[in-house]
Structure 1
């Protein structure tokens, strides 16, 4: 879930906190920029910052205009505010999905292209899910785990679907990029090293 960090803007936080169950994003309040700096979870990459104070400190901490929401036209209705926040979050998500680096390859989730050294290979949605799942886990994943988490099947179902998809994806990458070691297999399962 995307996050909106509200810095030194208590009134806005209180309004959004009252309707938080209806929001498509998580809100987190910081008293000031220093508090934000100290407590920011660096693992969170999908966020927007709303601050009432000077933005120089934020910009000095690698908060770009892409992640910063400034209000130029005040006052703003709640409906318009939520619209502005949601549009900004959608743009952030789109930009993040347009370039994911995995083992030297660039994966564009928007166009579904997998590329390296000027070569572009079109992937299916399922192939992208497999790559992202194997890459995010950094450990070997067996067929039952892939069945459950990619296909939503129970462990007692036929395993050929997973093995066939993995085989075809590995062959596709091997044939196109001449890389036979992108997805590796081990007795315990598949992984991306």
Structure 2
């Protein structure tokens, strides 16, 4: 079963065609009624396929150019799901901060800072861990250092990142260090 849902709205012919090839496409297929549109629009893994624009619905594919080959149709569906997934994965929220992974920016309200790739990767890794992460683990997982050589790369980068966050956001507790390593504090 797929985790992508394609709903067909007021487009019976298309629903019949896609139903026939359902086993060959990588989406779950269903019809949508007018009173379901708002709920479907809120789902992160769903798109609504329609012939004409539906007001106040973001997650829709409007397809009004016919005839079209089935391959072009399936390509359009796949591209729309890829764009949706890319867009949703480009922005995350950690505590009171938001992060745009594409532009590598951290922001809160109208204040933002630019981050390096290693800084954003460190924050994401620490956030996913949910607990303190040892320096050696960050060194291996974020920097790719497998050696047991003595290096202070992680400490230096985290120090500079904490200093940058303190200067711009006046937050000295977003990334803390304890006896077990580094940890993100997600206070709201």
TM-score (structure 1 length as normaliser):
0.69
Q: 1:192 aligns with which of 179, 184, 187?
A: 184
Give the paired residue count: 161
Whole-angstrom CA distance in 1 between matches of 2:74 and 2:118: 33
Structure of higher CA gyration radius: 2
Aligned counterparts of 2:48 and 2:171: Cα–Cα separation in 1: 42
CA deviation profile, 1:163-193 (whole Å, cap 9, x unmatched): 1111111111111111110111111111112
Alpha carbons 2:6, 2:48 under 8 Å: kept: no
The CA distance in 1 between the partners of 2:20 and 2:149, in whole Å, is: 53
**CA contact 1:94–1:110 (8 Å) conserved in 2:** no
Match of 1:164 in 2: 156
Indicate the SS of the match to 2:112: strand
Q: Which residue of 2 aligns with 1:4?
A: 4
2:55 corresponds in structure 1 to none
Residues 1:127 and 2:119 are matched in the alignment? yes
Unpaired runs of 5+ residues, structure 2, are 8-14, 52-63
2:23 aligned residue (14, 24, 28): 14
Structure 1: give runs of 5+ residues left out of the alignment.
Answer: 17-26, 30-49
Scaled by the length of structure 2, the TM-score of the pair is: 0.71
Aligned counterparts of 2:149 and 2:85: Cα–Cα separation in 1: 35
Distance 1:168 1:28 in 2: 45
Tell me the residue number matched to 2:128: 136
Report the RMSD for the aligned CA atoms in angstroms.
Answer: 2.9
Q: Deviations over 1:121-165 (max 9, x none)?
A: 011111111111111121111111112211222152433111111
